[in-house]
Amino acid sequence: MSLTDRAISQIRELIASGALPPGTKLPPEPELAAQLGLSRNLAREAVKALAVAHVLEIRRGDGTYVTSLQPSLLLQGLGGAVELLQGDPAAVLDLMEVRRLLEPAATALAVARLSDDALGEVKRHLDAMRAARDDVERLNAHDVAFHRAIVDVTGNESLITLLEGISGRTLRARIWRGLVDSRAAARTLAEHEAIYAALASRDAVLSHAAALVHVNNTEQWLREHLEAAEGLGGTGSPG
């Protein structure tokens, strides 16, 4: 572990222990450095690194504060990190596997917390998908919104943020699927109709199964297409 990493760990420990709770202003740099037994340069570098990670917020002319530490903030960098994987077909498939693990579970969890208004929002995006069946980009945009509306019902901020980061990347795979597979729109609509019907029946097991079938079909199609593209000497990258 480098000296900077140790300095970062020391500040994180202060935050984790409750010595620096969310919203707290850090001591001035000389005082912080002395408190941690660090040089001012090391303390400064550690603060900068934690600011990039959204653990700390540097307010010019005011000082440095511990952020709210909400999952949506701390996991904010996930989407950007995922985007960097766009040229790697294996990484895309890894992300689809993660989505397959999380999204059906989130869909089932949503059933117990689903209000009539929330179900109406899901249906609104389903109706928009129907109307956009001949416009691949619009269809996929409402596809993403359909799933986001479901996951939002869980109220689980960590789960919402994780799936948002993954779906931002896999959206391109779904658009690509629509461009190269003329039957994809019909299949996609049928799968989303099944998910909505399961939600409307308030059946958690059926909702999990319908979401699993949908994600699995997309993943399987993508896996087969990437393997075929690699066999032809291409990268197979949906970007």
> What tokens does 60 get?
């010019």
State the span(s) of the chain assigned CATH 1.20.120.530. 74-231
Q: Confirm if 47 and 26 have CB atoms less than 8 A apart.
A: yes
Coil vs helix vs strand at 68 = coil
> What single-letter DSSP state applies at residue 166?
H
The CATH fold of domain 3-69: Arc Repressor Mutant, subunit A (1.10.10)
> What single-letter DSSP state applies at residue 20?
S
Q: How many CA atoms lie within 13 A of 164 on its CB side?
A: 19
Longest dimension (CA), the chain: 65
Those residues with Cβ within 8 angstroms of residue 105's Cβ, 6 or more apart along the chain or in another chain: 208
**At CB < 8 A and 24+ separation, what contacts does 179-188 make?**
179/136, 180/225, 181/221, 184/221, 185/133, 185/134, 185/136, 185/139, 186/133, 187/217, 188/129, 188/139, 188/143
User: Which stretches in the chain have pLDDT values below 50?
Assistant: 232, 234-239
State the span(s) of the chain assigned CATH 1.10.10.10. 3-69
Q: Which pLDDT score, from 0 to 100, does residue 59 have? A: 93
pTM of the model: 0.74
Q: Does domain 74-231 have CATH number 3.90.930.12?
A: no
Q: Which pLDDT score, from 0 to 100, does residue 1 have? A: 65
